[in-house]
Amino acid sequence: MTPASPSNQYYYNPRLRNFARKLRNHSTKAEVYIWSFLLRSKNFRGYSFNRQRPVLNYIADFMCKELLLIIEIDGGIHDRWDVKRKDRIRQERLEAAGFTVLRFTNEQVLRDRASVEMALDEWIEIKKAR
């Protein structure tokens, strides 16, 4: 994908819009949980997040444009070597475009929301200090 133009400054990929909508309508339990309790409606420290956001040739689970932050929630399939390889490539490409990618497992989100919230808080504080 080419560098962002003013109309596409966050690498939005409109070709993935319908697939992203389908994913939003079939979210995992962990995605629904983090969306409902942390990220919805500028609920997280005043920052706005989108869910299932098309970016480059991928769909990010959650993205904050202002912070250039992508949050990925990984289920058990992400333990497979082939999926780990694809995740690594995807993360490298997103980071090359200027995003930071934070990954959490389904278990972290569902069983220890406080540690997920603390990790996000710490990352935001570091980002704001720069």
What residue ranges define each of the domains in the chain, with the CATH number in brackets?
10-129 (3.40.960.10)
Residues 24 and 45: their CA atoms lie apart, in Å, by 23
pLDDT at 109 over 60: yes
pTM: 0.84
Q: For the chain, what percent of residues have pLDDT higher than 70?
A: 89
1 pLDDT tier (thresholds 50, 70, 90) = very low
Q: What is the pLDDT of residue 69?
A: 96
Q: What is the pLDDT of residue 12?
A: 82
Mean residue pLDDT of the chain comes to 86
Residues 68 and 50: their CA atoms lie apart, in Å, by 12
- 40-93 pLDDT, tens digit each: 867 788 899 999 999 999 999 999 999 999 999 998 766 677 778 999 999 999
The size of the chain, in residues, is 130
Residues 128 and 18: their CA atoms lie apart, in Å, by 34
